[in-house]
């Protein structure tokens, strides 16, 4: 066999392996009915259709993060979806619980999202034993959801017969919707409909403000049936023994007595890399700037009530006050959250350790701490070859920290993976622990919620690390770390394998 033919065969086998893996979720399988625990709950509703009420505050809710469509909240009924109908499918592939969602307003306009796997909106617990307690908090009390695309027929909008021209135009602008499992408590969910509006695109080019063309068209909050939620949780996590309704502070108190065994979250460490910190934001006095669209809007809407956020040094000097995320999912300023971030002034050490992963030498565990720091932040199972320059990879604190808002039909071979597509030993994690004994620390109580990773430039030799505050309102700590030459070259070589 000639070298060229051999290369084609090998490449075909490589692509085929990835294709099989990619199609595992969406492949056609033998159909079955939903678990009896689920069907019995739907049987309690008339015609087996679960009807739920929703809250849609409309234009008067000032903290809805993002720009509003011209139709948003202007009408008291149109496109303010306050009723939800969920219908369980009669047949579905084994391992799925498929249902059709219908979001209705008082004018008989509706949004239809069909064949949604309810199990994908339920947390999956990957740890064992006592580590289930901190994972319950970081999974159940973190928001995650799925985006559905109109142009791919993943959802549709049906207008009432007497719809106005403005409503028809708004429908034409709509192109995305999202169903989200809210972070406040079990059973709190959200639905939002997004439009794409280019009417002011020319003006935005002139004034320099062009974050995106998305406009919120409608946003509703609702409670899923508690019995259904508990049943789905049990179906997805048959070995879970922690009651879903356990009160948050009680759960947190138990979780903070749990020692994290990092050896159970990753493969063994193969090498301690020699890296160099080239900048610490609070020492360099770097100015704080919004890193993404969400932070831009949260700054604009004044979710930070008190605190000096001019630099990475000033924000650590005195407690910050923020609006509180509460109730169905609203920001409220009358009961602010107060955080003292001074402990982050002692985070002055960043170490990189290579993890022993077969056929890859670019998976690392990053540890952020300091000689006098009471805590450490550990970011693990990160493939440096999948990070990009000038593009932030976000990771919420927790276990298996997959992107919390992602396509229902996800993109192949990117770091923005779907949790169901990744092997257990490669699932990433971000954890705050006691430095002295690795006991888990509730990051929400310490005022931090998310990590951003990126490269400084196309050279991909300097890793940027950002830590974001509660509710991702603002960055509060940052560092730049120069990779050792050997690791940098491995990253560059492996990166080429993702671009075949």
Q: Is 447 left (phi over 0), alpha (psi -120 to 50) or beta?
A: left
pLDDT in tens, 232-242: 999 999 988 88
Quote the DSSP letter at residue 37. Answer: H
Using 50, 70 and 90 to split pLDDT, how confident is the model at 9?
A: very low
Length of the chain: 500
Contact in structure between 340 and 352 (CB atoms under 8 Å): no
pLDDT over threshold 60, residue 25 = no
Task: Classify 139 as helix, strand or coil.
Answer: helix
Q: What is the mean pLDDT of residues 76-100?
A: 94
Q: What is the pLDDT of residue 174?
A: 94
Using 50, 70 and 90 to split pLDDT, how confident is the model at 420?
A: low
What is the average pLDDT score of the chain?
85
Q: What is the pLDDT of residue 22?
A: 32
Q: What is the mean pLDDT of residues 73-95?
A: 91
pLDDT in tens, 301-317: 788 888 898 999 999 99
Listed range (28-42, 74-88, 419-433) with the worst mean pLDDT: 419-433
Q: What is the pLDDT of residue 69?
A: 82
H or E segment to which residue 270 belongs: strand 269-272
pLDDT in tens, 442-492: 999 999 999 999 999 888 899 999 999 988 889 999 999 999 999 999 888
Q: What is the mean pLDDT of residues 33-37?
A: 92
pLDDT in tens, 37-76: 999 999 999 999 999 999 988 777 766 667 788 888 778 8
Would you give the end-to-end CA distance of the chain in angstroms?
23
Q: What is the pLDDT of residue 499?
A: 53
Contact in structure between 375 and 368 (CB atoms under 8 Å): no
Pairing between β-strand 83-88 and β-strand 98-104 as defined by DSSP bridges:
antiparallel
Whole-angstrom distance, CA of residue 242 vs CA of residue 36: 22
Nearest C-alpha neighbor of 451 from the set 385, 388, 400, 378: 378
Nearest C-alpha neighbor of 154 from the set 55, 31, 294, 26: 26
Of the CA atoms within 13 Å of residue 147, those in its CB half-sphere come to 15
Using 50, 70 and 90 to split pLDDT, how confident is the model at 295?
A: confident
**Of the segments 73-87, 367-381, 418-432, which one has the largest average pLDDT value?**
367-381
Angle between helices 132-140 and 248-255 (to 10 degrees): 140
Question: In the chain, what is the greatest distance between 2 CA atoms, to the nearest angstrom?
Answer: 75
Task: Classify 341 as helix, strand or coil.
Answer: coil
DSSP annotation string for 391-411 = B-EEEESEES---SEEESSPP
Q: Which residues contact 206 (CB under 8 A, 6 or more apart)?
A: none
Listed range (2-6, 178-182, 270-274) with the worst mean pLDDT: 2-6
Contact in structure between 395 and 381 (CB atoms under 8 Å): no
Q: What is the pLDDT of residue 62?
A: 63
């Amino acid at each position: 066999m000639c070298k060229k033919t051999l290369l084609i065969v090998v490449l075909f086998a490589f692509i085929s392996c990835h294709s099989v893996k990619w199609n595992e979720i969406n492949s056609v399988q033998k159909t079955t009915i939903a678990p009896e625990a689920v069907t019995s709950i739907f049987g309690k509703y008339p015609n087996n259709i679960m009807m739920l009420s929703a809250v849609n505050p409309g234009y008067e809710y000032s903290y809805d993060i993002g720009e509003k469509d011209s139709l948003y909240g202007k009408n008291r009924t149109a496109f303010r979806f306050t009723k939800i109908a969920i219908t369980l499918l009669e047949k579905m592939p084994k391992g799925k619980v498929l249902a059709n969602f219908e979001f209705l307003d008082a004018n008989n306009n509706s949004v239809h999202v069909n064949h949604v796997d309810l199990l994908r909106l339920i947390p999956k617990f990957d740890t064992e034993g006592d580590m289930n307690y901190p994972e319950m908090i970081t999974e159940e009390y973190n928001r995650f959801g799925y985006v559905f695309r109109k142009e791919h027929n993943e959802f549709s909008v049906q207008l009432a017969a007497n719809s106005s021209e403005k409503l028809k135009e708004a429908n034409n602008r709509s192109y995305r919707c999202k169903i989200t499992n809210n972070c406040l408590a079990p059973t709190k969910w959200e639905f939002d409909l997004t439009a794409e509006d280019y009417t002011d695109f020319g003006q935005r080019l002139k004034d320099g403000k062009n974050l995106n063309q998305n406009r919120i068209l409608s946003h509703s909050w609702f409670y899923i049936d508690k019995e259904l939620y508990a049943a789905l949780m049990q179906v997805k996590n048959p070995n879970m023994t922690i009651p879903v309704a356990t009160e948050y502070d009680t759960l947190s108190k138990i979780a903070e007595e749990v020692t994290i065994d990092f050896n159970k979250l990753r493969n063994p460490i193969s090498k301690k890399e020699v890296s160099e910190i080239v900048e610490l934001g609070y020492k360099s006095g770097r100015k704080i700037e919004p890193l993404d669209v969400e932070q831009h809007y949260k700054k604009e809407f004044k979710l930070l009530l008190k605190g000096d956020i001019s630099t990475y040094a000033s924000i650590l000097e005195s407690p910050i006050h923020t609006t509180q995320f509460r109730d169905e999912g609203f920001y409220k300023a009358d009961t602010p959250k107060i955080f003292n971030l001074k402990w982050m002034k002692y985070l002055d050490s960043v170490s990189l350790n290579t993890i022993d992963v077969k056929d890859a030498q670019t998976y690392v565990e990053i540890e952020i701490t300091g000689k006098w720091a009471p805590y450490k932040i550990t970011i693990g199972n990160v493939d440096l070859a999948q990070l990009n320059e000038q593009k932030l990879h976000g990771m919420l604190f927790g276990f298996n920290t997959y992107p919390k808002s992602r396509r229902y039909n996800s993109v192949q071979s990117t770091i923005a993976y779907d949790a169901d597509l990744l092997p257990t030993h490669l699932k990433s994690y971000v954890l705050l622990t006691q430095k002295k004994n690795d006991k888990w620390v509730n990051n929400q109580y310490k005022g931090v919620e998310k990590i951003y990773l990126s490269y400084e430039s196309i050279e991909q030799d300097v890793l940027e690390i950002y830590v974001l505050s509660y509710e991702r309102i603002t960055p509060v700590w940052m560092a730049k770390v120069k990779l050792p030459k050997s690791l940098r070259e491995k990253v560059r070589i492996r990166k080429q394998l993702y671009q075949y």
